């Protein structure tokens, strides 16, 4: 897993984690969808949920936001893991 400089802009499709406490506490994940759209997953310690925000700097679109419970996050993790497992490794593709 790569680490990204928080001050460096993300490239399309990159994900960045924002951590505190010397890197031990994960506060937020950011994923750049397009030059104007970023998805953010931020831990809300008051509600014990993760706030999911799709932020679009193009003013004709309204930001989208919802809170994800631990059960929903578990399901999301499982399905993303399953999608990940469907992908071929770069090394095995290069050897074909």
Give percent above pLDDT 70 in the chain.
Answer: 84
On whether residue 33 sits in a domain, the answer given is yes
On whether residue 77 sits in a domain, the answer given is no
State which residues of the chain have pLDDT below 70: 1-6, 59, 61, 91-96
pLDDT of 86 reads: 83
On whether residue 27 sits in a domain, the answer given is yes
On whether residue 23 sits in a domain, the answer given is yes
pLDDT of 94 reads: 57
Domain with 54 in it: 15-69
Distance, in Å, from the CA atom of 60 to the CA atom of 10, rounded to the nearest integer, reads: 22
| Number of domains making up the chain | 1
Distance, in Å, from the CA atom of 8 to the CA atom of 29, rounded to the nearest integer, reads: 15
On whether residue 96 sits in a domain, the answer given is no
On whether residue 82 sits in a domain, the answer given is no
On whether residue 31 sits in a domain, the answer given is yes
On whether residue 47 sits in a domain, the answer given is yes
pLDDT of 5 reads: 59
């Amino acid at each position: 897993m790569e680490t990204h400089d928080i001050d460096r802009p993300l490239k399309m499709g990159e994900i960045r984690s924002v951590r505190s406490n010397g890197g031990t506490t994960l506060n937020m994940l950011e994923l750049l969808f397009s030059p104007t759209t970023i998805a953010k997953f931020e831990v809300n310690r008051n509600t014990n949920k993760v706030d999911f925000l799709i932020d679009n700097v193009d003013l004709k679109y309204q930001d989208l936001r919802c809170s994800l419970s631990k059960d929903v996050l578990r399901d999301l993790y499982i399905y993303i893991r399953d999608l990940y497992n469907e992908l071929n490794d770069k090394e095995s593709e290069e050897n074909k």
